[in-house]
């Protein structure tokens, strides 16, 4: 790779066209307000010589290092390498391994098969086990999976096992949390500069904290359980620069749907997606989590947001472990760069049956719907419910279709009943939802986001049309294979519930 001295700044000469364009006329890619910039890296080899200094220590001499991206720096640190480049294969030391009830039993089985029935895990305090997927069901195999996790955690004395035993009343289980990706953040397992791996594709959510976080398979997880290491290939990085004031009718879900619609569900395959810019800096942690959550829907290996004061404030009181944030070098090389003026973006949906089937919400106003679902790791955080409550409060109307509410975690559920909604006169989300005619908030879990057993709450057991704050809308994703799912922000989901049609939230927020 060429020396960094031969690479100009990625934010200057590599932007072919800095002219700002509008977002409104986008089904044509040529009309979209985005500039994609390929970095032209010089092949020139540059050597550097310094005057002889007798007191200079040998350890500080040598060739000039090439600038690295955040992802490259994190993996370099975790592999104890001074320098990494995209395509390098390195053994990485893992800081946290997470698994849940769907993949945990398989990972445990592989661990025992390969390391021995009596083998011990590499570090009982770096493994986090969170039942969350198929919990509130009478399905015997789903229940058995949680039992397998419990037995393993008892055997291995795992420190962080968030167990549930009484399925009839989740509040009777103080250790139970709910959706793993939200619980990881709430319980302080996400820290800047670290490597977090999980047996779930949406583990990339944790990249919001400025760390490398990605999903792995059961075989890899079984190996990590025994060694604390994994062989990873360093991904190239796509850089997404989002500037402009966020309009009051947009949420991070609109931003990531815009990006996926632009680059497609394969546009970031095995690539890191780095999010920067004034808009990103203005987002709170939960909105940054939404942004990183869906990078896998573009094929991304990981998503990452630079840690800042917002990150550090969120972590206060959640973790006592030291952490070391890293940031991309100014001369770092990016595979491509995309720039957006968010002030010109409109509310979006992803039509069936793909997350990249992007459309303006207002263009779908004639689509009649049967239900609305607000929940999941993507759209079941407290800020997501506060957003939905804001729309219901502004309208003063009742919903026209069944509206299902599934808080991600037990903490989110509690907040629904205790936190006052801004400018509501002291009303809580639960009160506003009840007045709007929504279903009572359900027990916290992944719920119907991925279908689940037939008795899963809000599962689509019939071919319905649903507007959902979840992350995938493939055939059968929420149950019935003929169901139609429109992915949307909580604003758009709530607005659609009030009309019975896919609805632009500006009808109620302006």
Burial class (CB in 10 A: 0-12, 13-18, 19+), 344: middle
Lowest mean pLDDT among 9-23, 437-451, 486-500: 9-23
Q: How confident is the model over 24-29, as a mean pLDDT? A: 38
Tens-digit pLDDT profile for residues 193-215: 999 999 999 999 999 999 999 99
Instruction: Give the pLDDT of residue 23.
Output: 41
User: In the chain, which residues fall in CATH 3.30.499.10?
Assistant: 92-233, 348-507
User: In the chain, which residues fall in CATH 3.40.1060.10?
Assistant: 235-321+334-343
Say which residues have a Cβ less than 8 Å from residue 43's Cβ, sequence separation at least 6.
Answer: 2
Instruction: Give the pLDDT of residue 22.
Output: 36
CA angle centred on 202, ends 100 and 177, rounded to 5°: 45
Residue 100 has pLDDT above 50, yes or no: yes
CATH class entry, domain 92-233: alpha beta
Residue 276 has pLDDT above 50, yes or no: yes
Instruction: Give the pLDDT of residue 3.
Output: 35
Tens-digit pLDDT profile for residues 364-405: 999 999 999 999 999 999 999 999 999 999 999 999 999 999
Please, which pLDDT band fits residue 63 given cuts at 50, 70 and 90? low
What is the 8-class DSSP label of residue 28? Answer: S
Residue 17 has pLDDT above 60, yes or no: no
Please, which pLDDT band fits residue 64 given cuts at 50, 70 and 90? low
The CATH fold assigned to 235-321+334-343 is Aconitase; Domain 2 (3.40.1060)
Residue 257 has pLDDT above 80, yes or no: yes
Distance CA 183, CA 216 (A): 18
Q: How confident is the model over 439-446, as a mean pLDDT? A: 98
Residue 60 has pLDDT above 70, yes or no: no
Distance CA 112, CA 99 (A): 16
Say which residues have a Cβ less than 8 Å from residue 365's Cβ, sequence separation at least 6.
Answer: 501, 502, 503, 504
Instruction: Give the pLDDT of residue 451.
Output: 96
Say which residues have a Cβ less than 8 Å from residue 388's Cβ, sequence separation at least 6.
Answer: 374, 429, 433, 490, 491, 493, 494
DSSP codes, 64-100: PPPP--HHHHHHHHHHT-S---TT-EEEEE-SEEEEE
Q: How confident is the model over 63-88, as a mean pLDDT? A: 93
Who wins on pLDDT, 305 or 50?
305
Tens-digit pLDDT profile for residues 108-121: 999 999 999 999 99
Instruction: Give the pLDDT of residue 7.
Output: 34
Distance CA 364, CA 493 (A): 13
Tens-digit pLDDT profile for residues 320-356: 999 999 999 999 999 999 999 999 999 999 999 999 9
Say which residues have a Cβ less than 8 Å from residue 51's Cβ, sequence separation at least 6.
Answer: none
The CATH fold assigned to 348-507 is Aconitase; domain 3 (3.30.499)
Residue 173 has pLDDT above 80, yes or no: yes
Who wins on pLDDT, 125 or 54?
125
Distance CA 75, CA 193 (A): 9
Q: For the chain, what is the mean pLDDT? A: 90
Q: How confident is the model over 463-478, as a mean pLDDT? A: 98
Instruction: Give the pLDDT of residue 2.
Output: 37
Instruction: Give the pLDDT of residue 66.
Output: 87
Instruction: Give the pLDDT of residue 510.
Output: 79
pTM (predicted TM-score): 0.88
Tens-digit pLDDT profile for residues 372-382: 999 999 999 99
Distance CA 467, CA 258 (A): 17
């Amino acid at each position: 790779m060429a020396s960094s001295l031969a690479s100009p700044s990625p934010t200057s000469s590599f932007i072919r066209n800095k002219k700002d364009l509008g977002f409104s006329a986008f089904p044509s890619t040529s009309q979209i307000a985005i500039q994609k910039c390929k970095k032209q890296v010089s092949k020139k080899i540059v050597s550097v010589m310094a005057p002889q200094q007798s007191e200079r220590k040998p350890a500080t001499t040598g060739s000039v290092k090439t600038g690295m991206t955040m992802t490259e720096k994190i993996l370099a640190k975790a592999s104890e390498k001074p320098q990494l480049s995209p395509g390098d294969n390195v053994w990485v030391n893992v800081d946290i391994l997470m698994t849940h009830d769907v993949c945990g039993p398989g990972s445990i089985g592989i661990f025992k098969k390969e390391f021995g029935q009596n083998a011990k895990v590499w570090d009982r305090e770096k493994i986090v086990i969170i039942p969350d997927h198929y919990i509130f069901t009478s399905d015997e195999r789903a229940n058995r999976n949680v039992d397998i996790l419990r037995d393993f955690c008892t055997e291995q004395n795992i420190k962080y096992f968030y167990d549930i035993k009484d399925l009839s009343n989740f509040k009777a289980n103080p250790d139970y949390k709910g959706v793993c990706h939200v619980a990881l953040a709430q319980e302080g397992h996400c820290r800047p500069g670290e490597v977090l791996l999980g047996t779930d594709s949406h583990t990339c959510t944790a990249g919001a904290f400025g760390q490398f976080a990605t999903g792995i398979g059961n075989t890899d997880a079984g190996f990590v359980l025994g060694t604390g290491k994994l062989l990873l290939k360093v991904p190239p990085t796509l850089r997404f620069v989002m500037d402009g004031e966020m309009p009051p009718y947009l949420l991070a879900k609109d931003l990531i749907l815009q990006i996926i619609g632009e680059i497609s569900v394969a546009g970031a395959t095995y690539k890191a997606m780095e999010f920067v810019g004034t808009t990103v800096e203005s987002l709170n942690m939960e909105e940054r989590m939404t942004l990183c959550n869906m990078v896998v829907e573009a094929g991304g290996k990981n998503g990452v947001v630079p840690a800042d004061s917002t990150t550090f404030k969120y972590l206060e009181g959640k973790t006592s472990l030291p952490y070391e944030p890293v940031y991309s070098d100014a001369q770092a090389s990016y595979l491509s760069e995309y720039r957006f003026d968010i002030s010109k973006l409109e509310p979006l949906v992803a039509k069936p049956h793909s997350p990249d089937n992007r459309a303006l919400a207002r263009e779908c106003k004639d689509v009649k719907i049967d239900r609305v679902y607000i929940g999941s790791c993507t759209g079941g955080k407290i800020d997501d419910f506060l957003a939905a409550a804001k729309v219901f409060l502004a309208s003063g109307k009742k919903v026209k279709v069944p509206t299902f509410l599934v808080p991600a975690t037990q903490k989110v559920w509690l907040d629904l009943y205790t936190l006052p909604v801004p400018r509501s006169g002291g009303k809580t989300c639960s009160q506003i939802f009840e007045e709007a005619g929504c279903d009572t908030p359900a027990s916290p879990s992944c719920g119907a986001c991925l279908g689940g057993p037939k008795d899963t709450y809000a599962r689509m057991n019939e071919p319905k049309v649903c507007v959902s704050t979840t992350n995938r809308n493939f055939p059968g994703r929420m149950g019935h294979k003929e169901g139609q799912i429109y992915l949307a922000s909580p604003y758009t989901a709530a607005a659609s519930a009030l009309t019975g049609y896919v609805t632009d939230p500006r009808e109620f927020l302006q």
